[in-house]
DNA sequence: TATAGTCATAGATAATTATCTATGGTTTAG
DNA sequence: CTAAACCATAGATAATTATCTATGACTATA
């Protein structure tokens, strides 16, 4: 058999001929003329190199080889169909894979979106990458993930960013700290305190530093600690104060409390970030759509279903 | 995916691209130019409706969908190959089915040919039909079998017949019959004996009747018995004489013996008979080839490896 | 034995496919 | 930074395919 010349169309037609036992019937069913079917059949026979049907009592019945060919056709066609369905599902985003890169702090809130999405789309498999701002920027540069969450999106023409959630940064002290009761508390009053800060690559640190700079304040004593969790514990044990995302505090308030500092919370927002050029996997697209629809329920203070919708729109145009 | 437009050629090319990770390499391997492969790939992508490869570190690697497509390709191609091999085997006659219709008497000798053939070709499955001449003629008329064995082939332009074995008809009597010792025994001397004969539709009967007629002899007493075996037993028990194929006697000589009658044995021969128009299944063709090669070993008195060879030749021309 | 139904073939055409050469853009490796 | 390698696209062409209409042959049935 000349496999090379074989087409699925021929197999479709042939399978129908075997089922109906009649060229005319197949022609009608497939909206073709009878001679067309006749010729298709002839060509298939030439490809196979062996007669595949014979006349028997006015019907066309497959020969021995034809019978085997029929089974083959069924088999191949149904496999192709399964694949076809798979592609459709993939395309709708209901199936497949995407990866999302999260800045550390965002891991406190994203599960509230990822969890329900995952539940609703069990066939979608998500890789979550987590790191500080710098690490994420590196991944972003290397195009390693499909989707990112930054509070300060990298600026680039190629980058699309949609804010979706406010990320207020607050100053925290140990539980029952006397600072909590001070009125009109200012940073001036705290600048001699020891501050426990994330490493310079972190977004929280970056924002705080910028604010300090613009306020013309220099801290006396700082200590660098690499994880939000470690900072929380340190603050709770009285080692100092810290600046954290309010979401971190809300997530695990044990032993710490927010201080009512003037000028705080510092405003910042999380953004979904994608590269315009990169084709977003349908599953990621579906995730963003899902997010857009569920922001209001998931958070008190979403920042932009609208912005996410615009991002989706922009991506749709790219397709 | 537009299954309808899918071809095996595209899958072949695609599979190779995935393996090599390079259009140029595939182009060389398949003796095409690089732009050709590029275009094939493009078309396949359009058929699938989704990107199937992407560039990664200078190599082409399948996307998620592409990976699934590659697996599909492998699967489909290998299935088509298996079928292709099957067709080849079928074509060589090493596999498949044929049916052969035997006149009763021939069943005593055909096993000597069918047995070894079957052993040598275990994938060939043979249907053996047996009946008397008339029944076989009916089957022949209805084109029910691929191949027949007759001693007197039906005459028709459409019929090809090749004698392959002599089938001497002899007169038999009970063991130790006194007729056995008579010199120059003639039918005249026996005509008053009771003859146990096959029914008129049988070839043996037909031949014997014809001989009697041409010799101008009429028998006094006959009795019709439908099977050679029953006749043998009847003769052995002294109920009369009979005309049987010498092969029957040779096969089971118990209780009977051949009488040395003048003019006997009557000559007759078995023929393989096929319809010229009918396409002989390759397995049947292979059987005839096999027979042609083994006649000399199987029988002392073959009648025509030559004739069988000619028949094969004639069929070959028809193909 | 007409008649209707079914299949095969011929002839024609538009569409699609398979390929090639030439060329320009990107990426990779020195 | 340049050369080499590699891929994409354009343009051209020959071959193949998909179809159709018209017609002829065969077959079963009224």
Condensed to tens digits (0 to 9), the pLDDT of residues B50-91 reads 999 998 887 899 999 999 999 999 999 999 999 999 999 999
Nucleotide nearest to B7 (CA to C1'): C17
Average pLDDT, chain B: 87
Backbone angles phi, psi at B33, to 5 degrees: -95, 160
B264 in a structural domain? no
- Say yes or no: B277 and B218 in one domain: no
Question: What residues have CB less than 8 Å from B81, skipping those under 6 apart?
Answer: A3
Of A84-98, A296-310, B12-26, B262-276, the poorest mean pLDDT is in: A296-310
CB B273 within 8 A of CB B159: yes
- Say yes or no: A252 and A275 in one domain: no
Q: Using a 7 Å CB cut-off, which residues contact strand D?
A: A 5, 7, 9-10, 27, 31-33, 35-36, 39-40, 43, 57-58; B 21-25, 34-35, 38-39, 41-42, 55, 58, 60
Structural domain ending residue among the three candidates B69, B92, B115? B92
Give the residue from B51, B52, B46 showing the smallest Cα distance to B15: B52
User: Peptide bond preceding B64: is omega within 30 degrees of 0, i.e. cis?
Assistant: no
Q: Give the residue whose CA sits closest to C28 at C1'.
A: B58
- Say yes or no: A9 and A83 in one domain: yes
**Strands A59-62 and A53-56, bridge-based pairing:** antiparallel
Query: Could you tell me the pLDDT band of residue B115, with boundaries at 50, 70 and 90?
Result: very high
Q: Which residues pair with A161 in a beta bridge?
A: A273
Tens of pLDDT, residue by residue over B193-231, are 899 998 887 888 888 888 888 888 888 888 888 888 889
Q: Give B102 to chain A, closest Cα distance, Å.
A: 23
DSSP-assigned letter for residue B279: P
* Nucleic strand C near CB of residue B57 (< 7 Å): yes
User: Peptide bond preceding B44: is omega within 30 degrees of 0, i.e. cis?
Assistant: no
A263 in a structural domain? no
- Rounded distance between C-alpha atoms, residue A48 and residue B264, angstroms: 54
Q: Round and report the angstrom distance from CA (B40) to C1' (C16).
A: 13
Nearest CA in chain B to A2: B84
- Say yes or no: B15 and B87 in one domain: yes
pLDDT of residue A124: 95
Structural domain ending residue among the three candidates A66, A92, A118? A92
- Say yes or no: B87 and B105 in one domain: no
CB B249 within 8 A of CB B172: yes
A102 in a structural domain? yes
pLDDT of residue A88: 93
Q: Which stretches of chain A score pLDDT less than 70?
A: 297-306, 316-319
Nucleotide nearest to B40 (CA to C1'): C18
Q: Calculate the alpha carbon distances from A46 to A1, A38, A51, B304 in Å.
A: 8, 13, 8, 36
Nucleotide nearest to B36 (CA to C1'): C19
- Say yes or no: A153 and A127 in one domain: yes
Q: Give B258 to chain A, closest Cα distance, Å.
A: 46
pLDDT of residue B11: 94
Q: Round and report the angstrom distance from CA (B3) to C1' (D10).
A: 28
Between B121 and B279, whose confidence is greater? B121
- The answer to whether A7 contacts B12, with C-beta atoms less than 8 Å apart, is no
Which structural domain, as residue segments, surrounds residue A10? 3-92
Structural domain ending residue among the three candidates B33, B64, B92? B92
B136 in a structural domain? yes
pLDDT of residue B188: 82
Q: Considering its fold, how many domains does chain B have in total? A: 3
Residue in the block written with tokens 């700082």:
A222
A173 interfacial to chain B (CB closer than 8 Å): no
- Say yes or no: B158 and B174 in one domain: no
- Say yes or no: B146 and B159 in one domain: yes
- Rounded distance between C-alpha atoms, residue A287 and residue B107, angstroms: 76
B318 interfacial to chain A (CB closer than 8 Å): no
- We report the CATH number of the domain holding residue B34 as 1.10.10.10
- Say yes or no: A109 and A241 in one domain: no
Nucleotide nearest to A36 (CA to C1'): D19
- Rounded distance between C-alpha atoms, residue B46 and residue B38, angstroms: 13
A12 interfacial to chain B (CB closer than 8 Å): yes
Q: Which residues pair with A185 in a beta bridge?
A: A261
- Say yes or no: A124 and A192 in one domain: no
- Say yes or no: B209 and B84 in one domain: no
Question: What residues have CB less than 8 Å from B120, skipping those under 6 apart?
Answer: B290
A293 in a structural domain? yes
Chain A residues within 8 A of B3 when measuring between CB atoms? 8, 12, 77, 80-81, 84
Average pLDDT, integer, range B269-283: 87
Between B116 and B315, whose confidence is greater? B116
pLDDT of residue A77: 93
B8 in a structural domain? yes
Tens of pLDDT, residue by residue over B125-171, are 999 999 988 889 888 888 889 999 998 888 877 788 888 888 899 99
Question: What residues have CB less than 8 Å from B63, skipping those under 6 apart?
Answer: B50, B51, B52, B53, B54
Collapsing DSSP to helix, strand or coil, B60 comes out as strand
Angle B149-B152-B155 from CA coordinates, rounded to 5° = 105
DSSP string, A155-176: P-TTEEEEEEEE--EEEEEETT
Query: Using CB atoms and an 8 Å cut-off, which of residues 41-80 of chain B contact chain A?
Result: 48-51, 64-65, 68-69, 72, 75-77, 79-80
Angle B70-B76-B78 from CA coordinates, rounded to 5° = 100
Give me A219's structure tokens: 């801290």
Query: Could you tell me the pLDDT band of residue B304, with boundaries at 50, 70 and 90?
Result: low
Chain B residues within 8 A of A80 when measuring between CB atoms? 1, 3, 6, 72, 76
Chain B residues within 8 A of A7 when measuring between CB atoms? 5-8
- We report the CATH number of the domain holding residue A250 as 3.40.190.10
B263 in a structural domain? no
Q: Give A105 to chain B, closest Cα distance, Å.
A: 30
- Say yes or no: B233 and B302 in one domain: no
Residues 55-94 of A with CB under 7 A from strand C: 55, 58, 60
Q: How far apart are the first and last CA of chain A?
A: 41
A247 in a structural domain? yes
- The answer to whether A12 contacts B1, with C-beta atoms less than 8 Å apart, is no
Residue in the block written with tokens 């200590």:
A223
* Nucleic strand C near CB of residue B39 (< 7 Å): yes
Q: Round and report the angstrom distance from CA (A33) to C1' (D22).
A: 13
Give me B54's structure tokens: 């992407």
């Amino acid at each position: 058999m000349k496999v090379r010349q074989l087409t699925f169309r021929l197999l479709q037609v042939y399978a129908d001929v075997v089922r109906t036992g009649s060229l005319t019937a197949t022609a009608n069913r497939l909206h073709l003329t009878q001679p067309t079917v006749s010729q298709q059949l002839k060509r298939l026979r030439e490809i196979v190199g062996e007669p595949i049907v014979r006349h028997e009592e006015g019907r066309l019945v497959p020969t021995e080889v034809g019978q085997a060919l029929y089974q083959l056709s069924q088999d191949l066609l149904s496999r192709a169909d399964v694949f076809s369905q798979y592609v459709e599902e993939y395309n709708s985003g209901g199936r497949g894979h995407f990866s999302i890169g999260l800045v550390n702090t965002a891991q406190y809130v994203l599960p509230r979106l990822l969890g329900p999405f995952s539940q609703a789309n069990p066939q979608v498999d998500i890789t979550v990458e987590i790191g500080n701002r710098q690490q994420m920027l590196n991944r972003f540069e290397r195009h390693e993930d499909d989707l990112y969450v930054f509070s300060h999106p990298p600026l680039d023409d190629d980058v699309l960013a949609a804010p979706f959630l406010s990320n207020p940064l607050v100053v925290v002290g140990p539980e029952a700290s006397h600072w909590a009761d001070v009125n009109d508390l200012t940073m001036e009053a705290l600048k001699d305190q020891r501050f426990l800060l994330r490493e310079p690559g972190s977004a929280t640190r970056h924002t705080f530093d910028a604010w300090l700079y613009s306020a013309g304040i220099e801290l006396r004593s700082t200590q660098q600690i690499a994880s939000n969790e470690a900072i929380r514990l340190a603050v709770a044990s009285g080692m100092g104060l810290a600046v954290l995302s309010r979401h971190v505090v809300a997530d695990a308030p044990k032993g710490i409390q927010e201080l009512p500092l003037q000028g705080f919370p510092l405003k910042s927002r999380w953004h979904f970030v994608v590269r315009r050029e990169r084709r977003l996997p349908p599953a990621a697209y579906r995730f963003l759509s899902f997010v857009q629809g569920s922001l209001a329920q998931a958070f008190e203070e979403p920042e932009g279903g609208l912005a996410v919708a615009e991002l989706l729109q922009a991506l749709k145009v790219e397709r």
